[in-house]
Amino acid sequence: GVGGGFVIVPALTRFTELSARSVVATSLAVIALASLGGVGAAAWHGTIAWDIALPFAIGSVSASLLARLIAARVAGPRLQQGFAIVSACVAMLLLARGLGWLPVR
């Protein structure tokens, strides 16, 4: 799923010579292709709550378009720094929840 991006992005950065922009684009393509099978199976079995999924999908597409505009104006190393900061913040939140310092909803 999307969480796989936290594995794919560092791996692509480490083991390829792709630019930061290409790493992000490649990661998104891998995640999208991997997700299609799951979405198709869930839709086939009628387990998707479309009234919930569609607003999230619209928000995701909107955020992706906004991120594309920002990425076009930010240098590759800054994108990497931003990704590292976001990753560290997510890790700290997960750790805090795991230790019981933050409520789990």
**E-strand spans in 1-105?**
none
Whether pTM exceeds 0.85:
no
Residue-level pLDDT at 5: 72
Report how far residue 96's alpha carbon sits from residue 55's, in angstroms, rounded to the nearest whole number.
29
67 Ramachandran zone, left/alpha/beta (phi>0; psi -120 to 50): alpha
Give the pLDDT score at 21.
Answer: 82
Per-10-residue mean pLDDT of the chain, 105 residues long, equals 74 92 87 87 95 94 89 85 92 95 87
- Domain boundaries in the chain? 2-98
